[in-house]
Amino acid sequence: MEFYVTFERAVELITSQEFTLPSQQVPLFEAAGRVLREDVVADRDDPPVPVSAMDGYGVKFPDVETVPSRLKVKGVVPAGVDRPVEIERGEAVKIFTGSVVPESVDLVVPVEWTEEREGGVEVKKSFPKGANVRPPGENYRKGQVLIREGTVLGAPEVGIAASVGRSFLKVSVKPRVGIVVTGSELLEPWESFSSPVQIRNANAYTLYSLVREAGGEPVYFGVVEDSREKTLNALSEAFDVCDVIVTSGGVSAGDYDFVKEVVGELGIDVLFYKVQVKPGKPVLFGRKGNRFFFGLPGFPVSVFTSFNLFVYPLLMKIQKAKEIFKPKVRGVLVEDYSRKKAERTEFVRCSFTFSKNRFLVSPLKRQGSGVLSALIGRRALMVVPKGVKSLRKGDSVDLILVKGL
Ligand code: AMP
Ligand code: MG
């Protein structure tokens, strides 16, 4: 076991774990948020033939070089109808968005630049050759690899899979993530207080949401009182059915902190305990066979940051995602930031805006580990490296986008 490791070492110990979850076929409706385990290849050109991008009239270019111009309407090609209506000089064909463009047509004049006259049409504006015609393969070409293995599937990827005729995709099985929350002071949101020292359990719900965001299947084991036996029982139950177990609280050095004590009894190989980070110093990471254990601190902000920094990359890695970290960008600090001690890497909670191609970063005034309310809304983590005591307004900083954009 390594004790009080640097942030970088902790991440290295986590991301060097070799284990990949099995894959499964899922129907497209279930595919969003999952990690793809195959390449998705185009089965044909899209569009397969030239199609009209507008409702209007297919015409020959020389006929609309000077306008207004009157043309005879030769016929109609509705979308989805394979009816080649070929035209000669002086003729037009009525056409719709998605209709096949006949070979003899040079361009499509949008309907708003035309006026129907008995038996004919008047074109009021010229367009270049090819205007409003989508060429074959505009979207993709047959044989092209469209989505690579390891991609986290989002809305466009699922749409593309459908368009290449895939109704099932091979994805990683969701990691089952057990959530065990410790603390005799905790009440569930629906329970009523019997004493003013009780507090509501926020962490279970934060963790549940974070697991879902990382493509996992959360399994909630409830609140466990601060007792050695109860902690041991809850954790061994979780180990029976989960790939990854995450606990909150009970991992510090207090008399009632039993998580650290019982991991040994469970046969977990502890890889590190305590990390040189702020917030969330007392994080524990271990492994037993192909099951992983994270003991996170109890403070709600620490739970959020340490999940994003440590648990998230492991969940992405075992799902075989290409990108396993939360996105990181460079930002510009809009005010000075200083701290008394610089012995840990600090993840300063910030608000940010994006303006003139730059992320402008403002550290929040309320940085307490218990102040979860400061994380409501658009928030990110500014990285203050170990050894750095102060940063100046205008300095360039790393910003971890833990809450999307
Ligand atoms: P611990 O790490 O167990 O000493 O907890 C640290 C602090 O976080 C204490 O103030 C706890 O009351 C608080 N805390 C622990 N677990 C939770 C939870 N599930 N929800 C909200 N606050 C918690
Ligand atoms: Mg506790």
Cα separations in angstroms, 18 against 15, 317, 349, 364: 8, 9, 32, 37
* Ligand 1 atom 15: residue of nearest CA: 298
Handedness of CA 262, 265, 269, 271 (dihedral sign): positive
Contact 176, 346 (CB under 8 A): no
Q: What is the pLDDT of residue 189?
A: 97
Report the topology of domain 24-46+139-172.
Molybdopterin biosynthesis moea protein, domain 2 (3.90.105)
The residue ranges of the chain whose pLDDT is under 50 are none
Q: How far is Cα 214 from Cα 229, in angstroms, rounded to an integer? A: 31
State the CATH class of domain 9-21+175-318.
Answer: alpha beta
Give the CATH number of domain 51-134; options: 2.170.190.11, 2.60.40.420, 3.40.50.1220, 3.10.110.10.
2.170.190.11
Handedness of CA 355, 359, 360, 362 (dihedral sign): positive
Domain range summary for the chain, segments of one domain joined by +: 9-21+175-318, 24-46+139-172, 51-134, 328-400
Handedness of CA 385, 390, 394, 400 (dihedral sign): positive
282 lines ligand 1 (CB under 6 A): no
Q: What is the pLDDT of residue 83?
A: 85
pTM for this prediction: 0.95
Q: How far is Cα 51 from Cα 210, in angstroms, rounded to an integer? A: 44
Q: What is the pLDDT of residue 253?
A: 86
Q: Which atom of ligand 1 is nearest to the CA of 302?
A: 8
* Ligand 1 atom 5: residue of nearest CA: 298
Q: How far is the CA of 137 from the centre of ligand 1 (A)?
A: 57
Q: What is the DSSP track for 191-255?
A: SPPSSTT-EE--HHHHHHHHHHHTT-EEEEEEEE-S-HHHHHHHHHHHHHH-SEEEEES--SSST
Mutation choice for ligand 1 from 191, 199, 257, CB with most ligand atoms inside 8 A: 199
Q: How far is the CA of 184 from the centre of ligand 2 (A)?
A: 7
Q: Tens digits of per-residue pLDDT, 166-200?
A: 999 999 999 999 999 999 999 999 999 999 999 99
In this structure, the strands spanning 269-275 and 2-5 are: parallel
279 lines ligand 1 (CB under 6 A): no
Q: Does domain 328-400 have CATH number 2.40.340.10?
A: yes
298 lines ligand 1 (CB under 6 A): yes
* Closest ligand to the CA of 204: 1
